[in-house]
Structure 1
Amino acid sequence: MMNVRLRAFALIAAALLSGAASAAERPVVDALAGSVAGVEVDGIRSFKGIPYAAPPVGAARWTPPQPAASWQGTRDATEFGAACMQPGPRAASIYSWDLPAMSEDCLSLNIWAPEGAKDLPVFLWIHGGALVSGSGGDPLYDGSALAKRGMIVVSINYRLGALGWLAHPALSAESPDHVSGNYGLLDQIAALQWVKRNIGAFGGDAANVTIAGESAGALSVMYLMAAPAARGLFANAIVESGYMVSAPALRDRVNGMVPAEAQGAALAAKLGASDLAALRALPAKAIAEDAAKAGYFPFPAIDGKTVARQLVESFDRGEQAPVPILAGFNSGEIRSLRFLLPKPPADAAEYEATIRANYGEFAEAFLARYPAETIEDSMLAATRDAMYGWTAERLASNQAALGQAAYFYIFDHGYPAMEQWGLHAFHAAELPYVFGTTGKTPELWPKIPDTLAERKLIRVIGDYWASFAKSGRPQASDAPAWPDYADDRGFMHFADEPKAAHNLFPGTAALHEAVVCRRRAAGDIPWNWNVGLASPPLPPKAEGCQ
């Protein structure tokens, strides 16, 4: 019996000593915000779940982010923080993850850094998810592979849905600036400010931060480029599948959109909240779920402070950050987003008649690009080009007009599982290639084969993105030189392999720009997914428009 007890004590002692040794070997960083202990794997140190702002709970719900409280001792940073509150998925899709722990206390960020990092460029990732869902801790965004390319990778959480974007008259009344909404955007700015103060301790160069995002993350990047409060917090921008669509104003009805405060008041009524106190007393989970069921769609609001005006106007005025940009879209964007499409017509004759009625003098140009003979392909391409293609090319053109380097791309790559499901180059398909996370995609994502050709494309795309973050210029070994957009509308075509080219889809971006110009001049029509068969009649020609 004594020998058994001695062996047991010996095992316990060994385990404790082993744990102590492991703890001692964990990397510790003493940042301005406090000390954090992470983990190191294959030369990459990760620090997860670091709070960059105080929990926006209770009376702090629907207020701008406040500084996070300091902590004593060394904070454990080995686990991702909770995801921001969001509704559960209504149906399984290629984008579905098992939802992690969720909380209103979610304003945290994650850092991946090479061992011995010093003055390295910083790549700050803003996740997508329609401003409703997602998390900086999603496996697809693991920053290890990018960090191995010689940079610091940061991913962030920000408030989502009604908890992140709700505007309401009572919220505006209590604000010193008399505005409300845009809390998720303010969170992103707070994260950038935290990075500016603290990233040097992790080996990052606070003067060389690239903001990057896809879909709603790309939308966020564009708003950050236009936000006065974000000026000087980043040096480069990457916009993957962004959409420069119209936004509601805080109180006025502009571009045919219900004012953001009115949207918020209507949602509060649907949630049964008679006043602001009742609204704040509602459980966060109920707000996230019930707002989505009520049809609330979160979006930035033009408040004259954080968001001065429509993005197209800010960029036309040259008010955006004068930084190099890398922007592009995917050839099959809408193949996984078919809910954006209108009801198909009965036949080709109905399609053509509707287009002619909707597009007037532009109908011939529209039908030449999106013919009635191939209705499904035409509908997919028209919505893609009007939302994502036009946005990416417009961004490249706007930055080039400021004298900044501008790099434009189209991701047109497919592989067998993707093609089998009819999802060639679908929305977000480029992400595993950017992050080098082809083995960490969601369960229903078409599986990427482990072939020499795929590995080469992953390496090349990762090289381009990483070098852009380092220098504002995308370069890759054993790959074509990426032409600047200013060089005859230069772009990179990512198919089976990258190919440099010029003048993508001649005249297409100009067509959609002309339509948007007339809608802007009319003042009572939004420009978003009301494309093709869903388009309102073309407004009359206005000054400054075709």
Structure 2
Amino acid sequence: MTSLSEVTTSEGIVRGHREGKVLRWLSIPYAAPPVGDLRLRAPQPARPWTGVRDATTYGNAAIQHASGSRIGARTSQPQSEDCLTVNVTAPAEPSSAPRPVMVFIHGGGYVFGTSAVSLYHGNGLASNGDVVVVSFNYRLNVFGYVDFTQFGTADSPIESNLGLRDQVAALEWVQRNIAAFGGDPANVTIFGESAGAAAVTTLLATPAAKGLFHRAIAQSSPADWGLDADTAADLGRSCVEALGADADNAAEALRSADPHVLRRAAGRVFRENLANNPGVLTMMPVIDGDYLPQHPLDAYADGNAHNVPLIMGTNRHEGSLFAKYLDDLPTNPERVKKMFAQSNSVPLDRIARHYHGYPSERTAIKLGGDFIFWRPTITACEAYSQHAPTYNYRYDYAPPMLNRMGLGATHASELIAVFGFGETKAGRALTVIGGRRDLHSVTERVQAHWLSFARYGAPLTSWPEYKTTTRKTLVFDTTTRVVADIDRDRRLAWALYPRPYAPAADPAAEAAG
């Protein structure tokens, strides 16, 4: 039996439903559908409606490969360009004061994913922590992360960074509306995982996002994701060519193409680039000098980020998930060797010597995972901590089931603790061969820190700030401990490796210098 709850938003009334201890409202529009002439345009205001809008079921996922919008083991969410919606989960019990708000940004490499995945529901986090949890969908792959601005005209403009602009629009919706759901618009924490964490670290450097959130949590962020404008323009031209168009008819072809035809054309460019440059993805925000004026890592170093308190960390075995299931990152010796050959700077042995057993497959997986996630996370923490409170973690815990599968504390596994997924009916399968008590304990500790941070702007006092003088990291495992300068030799070795997405040096400028 469910009870209904009606809330008046700035665009109209929405009706949600009760699930146990929480109330949920699903797929509320935060912007107009980016279809027709609005394809490749910045998000426009959502259209008001009359009457009561049903918000009891999920709507559409963003356009992506069919396998990407799975919300469970056997079911997929429908896909459409009409996907710009938010979900709200709040405790059913009324509160005398506004509740902290936690806005989750889903991952998926900016090419797949959906906020409807059961792992992200937020029911346990909302009820256990007395917070309001928000999630949302945003444009992915070619629709959100390829720069076609060169093909726009004064009469028919095309904007850059559409997925990033969608995220800002969702946060603007939160500011306008979350008080109606019992949330505090003056206490908003954004948190995300993988590409969602990259979104977090990018929003920290996005001027339009200033004031829309007050704390940030980045879980396994490839924090150096950000293309220079020239590289992004080249990729945009390659996608137009893959679509069978040219500069003269590009705008019309891009706007009129079937969405999946357009997605597949850009996907061919994406995969070819990844094959030639292992570890270097191409669908990501562009440093356009306007909406995103500086690379996030440069903004951190210069003190130009929003400088709100930040939690940022990685998992111990980031690469194992990709090696076993996704097979698209430098997680084998062949791809690692090719990656270093492309960098044309640091010899592989300068870094590989710090990975005992290299070039074994297992060690290559560790090296590749560190390259994508841990290396840029430490760089970001070093820069950001000079200007704002910063807390670094490493998540080492894995239930016996994940160890038996050869995954360990793999990419995204910390989400099990963050959302309390192990306490759900589906999540209990993770502990069918043991480890339930340990997972419960780790979940309690992770959530206590995340919720303290969301409520007060700092985790519990047992977690010290990350400073370059001490480099203290909190390690989550069956016991939690603080480690100073974790993996120091690897950190120093990776510091020699050039940022993968930095623009190529101008030989003339170098000569003049």
Q: What is the TM-score of this pair, normalised by structure 1? A: 0.81
Q: Distance in 1 between matches of 2:50 and 2:340?
A: 65
Q: Is 1:232 aligned to 2:214, yes or no?
A: no
| Matched residue, 1:501 | 483
Change (3 A) 1:484 1:263: same
How far residue 198 of structure 1 moved from its aligned partner, in angstroms, is: 0.7
| Matched residue, 2:66 | 88
Unaligned ranges ≥5, structure 1: 1-18, 253-258, 526-539
Change (3 A) 1:443 1:247: farther
Q: Distance in 1 between matches of 2:412 and 2:43?
A: 29
Q: Is 1:337 aligned to 2:314, yes or no?
A: no
**Contact 1:171/1:180 (<8 A) preserved:** no
1:369-411 Cα shifts (integer Å, max 9, x gaps): 1245563343223222233112222232223200x22111111
Q: Distance in 1 between matches of 2:421 and 2:353?
A: 39
Q: Distance in 2 between matches of 1:500 and 1:173?
A: 55
How far residue 29 of structure 1 moved from its aligned partner, in angstroms, is: 1.3
Q: Distance in 2 between matches of 1:152 and 1:109?
A: 13
Change (3 A) 1:54 1:501: same
Given the alignment, which residue of 3, 26, 29 partners 2:7?
A: 29
For 1:230, the aligned partner's letter is A
How far residue 299 of structure 1 moved from its aligned partner, in angstroms, is: 1.4
How far residue 332 of structure 1 moved from its aligned partner, in angstroms, is: 0.7
1:1-60 Cα shifts (integer Å, max 9, x gaps): xxxxxxxxxxxxxxxxxx9xx7xx511112223211111223311111100000000000
Larger CA deviation: 490-499 vs 141-150:
490-499
Given the alignment, which residue of 124, 132, 137 partners 1:145?
A: 124
| Matched residue, 1:62 | 40
How far residue 426 of structure 1 moved from its aligned partner, in angstroms, is: 0.9
| Matched residue, 1:394 | 379
| Matched residue, 1:135 | 114
For 1:511, the aligned partner's letter is A
Change (3 A) 1:269 1:519: closer
Q: Distance in 1 between matches of 2:172 and 2:501?
A: 37
Superposed, 1:247-326 pairs within 5 Å as: 247-250=226-229, 252=230, 259-273=231-245, 274-295=249-270, 297-326=282-311
Q: What is the TM-score of this pair, normalised by structure 2? A: 0.86
Change (3 A) 1:295 1:328: same
Change (3 A) 1:50 1:323: same
How far residue 214 of structure 1 moved from its aligned partner, in angstroms, is: 0.6
Q: Distance in 1 between matches of 2:389 and 2:72?
A: 33
| Matched residue, 2:462 | 481
Superposed, 1:35-114 pairs within 5 Å as: 35-89=13-67, 98-114=75-91
**Contact 1:93/1:444 (<8 A) preserved:** no
Q: Distance in 2 between matches of 1:234 and 1:209?
A: 5
Tell me, what secondary structure is at the counterpart of 2:391? Answer: strand
Q: What percentage of residue pairs aligned between the two structures are identical?
A: 31
Tell me, what secondary structure is at the counterpart of 1:40? Answer: strand
Q: Is 1:173 aligned to 2:153, yes or no?
A: yes
Larger-Rg structure: 1
Q: Distance in 2 between matches of 1:81 and 1:501?
A: 44
Change (3 A) 1:95 1:325: farther
Change (3 A) 1:383 1:174: farther
Tell me, what secondary structure is at the counterpart of 1:155? Answer: strand
Instruction: Give the total of aligned pairs.
Output: 487
| Matched residue, 1:9 | none
Structure 1: which 4+ aligned runs deviate by more than 6 Å?
Answer: 92-97, 354-364, 440-448
Unaligned ranges ≥5, structure 2: 272-281
How far residue 329 of structure 1 moved from its aligned partner, in angstroms, is: 0.4
1:163-190 Cα shifts (integer Å, max 9, x gaps): 11222255443489x7633101000000
Q: Distance in 1 between matches of 2:168 and 2:503?
A: 31
Tell me, what secondary structure is at the counterpart of 1:153? Answer: strand
| Matched residue, 1:190 | 169
Q: Distance in 1 between matches of 2:125 and 2:150?
A: 44
1:399-448 Cα shifts (integer Å, max 9, x gaps): 3200x221111111122221122111111111111001234769998978
How far residue 358 of structure 1 moved from its aligned partner, in angstroms, is: 8.1
Q: Is 1:417 aligned to 2:392, yes or no?
A: no
How far residue 335 of structure 1 moved from its aligned partner, in angstroms, is: 0.9
| Matched residue, 2:419 | 435
Q: Distance in 2 between matches of 1:136 and 1:94?
A: 8
| Matched residue, 1:379 | 364
Q: Distance in 2 between matches of 1:345 and 1:272?
A: 33
Q: Distance in 2 between matches of 1:455 and 1:342?
A: 31
